[in-house]
Structure 1
Amino acid sequence: MQWMIYGANGYTGELIARAAKQGGLSPVLAGRDAGRIEALARELDLPHRVFALDAADRVRDGLAGMALVLHCAGPFSATSAPMIEGCLAVGAHYLDITGEIAVFEHAQAQRARAEQAGIVICPGVGFDVIPTDCVALKLKELMPEATHLSLGFETASGLSPGTSKTVIEGFSTGCQVRRDGRIVDKPLAWGRRVIDFGAGPRSAMTIPWGDVSTAWCTTDIPNIDTWLPLPRAAIAAARLGNLFRPVLGNRWVQARLKGLVTRYVKGPDARARARLSTRVWGEARNRQGDRKVVRLTTANGYALTIDGALAVVMHLLSTTVTPGCHTPAGMLGADFVTRLPGSGAFSISDR
Structure 2
Amino acid sequence: MKKKILIYGSYGYTGNLISEIAAQKRLPVILSGRNHEKLVNQGERLKLPVKKASIESSGDLDELLSEVHVVIHCAGPFMHTWKPMAEACLRNQCHYLDITGEVAVFESIKVMNKRFLEQNLMAMPGVGFDVVPTDCMAAYLYQSMPDATHLELGFMGLGGGISHGTAKTMVENLGRGGLIRENGELKRVPSAYNVKAINFGLKSSDAVTIPWGDLSTAYTTTGIPNISIYMAATKGMIRGMKLSNFLAPVLKLNSVKNWLKKRIEAKPIGPDKHQRKNGKSMIWGRVENSNGAIKEAIFVTKEGYQLTAEMALLIAEKVVAGKYRSGYQTPAGLFGHDLIFEIEKTEWVMK
Counterpart residue number, 2:29: 27
The answer (yes or no) to whether the contact 2:201–2:349 under 8 Å persists in 1 is no
- Report the secondary structure of 1:209's partner residue: coil
Counterpart residue number, 2:81: 79
Residues 68-92 of structure 1: CA deviation (Å, up to 9, x unaligned):
1000111111111111111011010
Counterpart residue number, 1:162: 165
- Report the secondary structure of 1:212's partner residue: helix
- 1:251 paired to 2:222: no
Counterpart residue number, 1:241: 244
The answer (yes or no) to whether the contact 1:132–1:151 under 8 Å persists in 2 is yes
Matches within 5 A, 1:67-146: 67-146=69-148
Counterpart residue number, 1:153: 155
- Report the secondary structure of 1:67's partner residue: strand
Counterpart residue number, 1:3: 5
Most deviating of 274-283 and 57-66: 57-66
- Report the secondary structure of 2:264's partner residue: helix
Give the deviation of 1:200 after TM superposition: 4.2
The answer (yes or no) to whether the contact 2:175–2:244 under 8 Å persists in 1 is no
TM-score (norm 2): 0.96
For 1:295 and 1:83, the matched residues in 2 are separated by 35
Give the deviation of 1:176 after TM superposition: 0.6
Give the deviation of 1:320 after TM superposition: 4.1
Residue identity opposite 2:10 in structure 1: A
For 1:31 and 1:223, the matched residues in 2 are separated by 39
1:277 to 270, 274, 280: 280
For 1:66 and 1:32, the matched residues in 2 are separated by 17
For 1:346 and 1:204, the matched residues in 2 are separated by 19
Residue identity opposite 1:308 in structure 2: M
Matches within 5 A, 1:314-325: 314-325=317-328
The answer (yes or no) to whether the contact 2:325–2:334 under 8 Å persists in 1 is no
Give the deviation of 1:181 after TM superposition: 0.8
- 5+ residue gaps, structure 1, are none
Give the deviation of 1:55 after TM superposition: 2.6
The answer (yes or no) to whether the contact 2:100–2:130 under 8 Å persists in 1 is yes
Counterpart residue number, 1:205: 208
Q: In 2 relative to 1, CA 237–43 (structure 1 residues): closer, same or farther, beyond 3 Å?
A: closer
Give the deviation of 1:346 after TM superposition: 5.9
Counting matched residue pairs gives 348
The answer (yes or no) to whether the contact 1:161–1:267 under 8 Å persists in 2 is yes
Most deviating of 67-76 and 236-245: 236-245
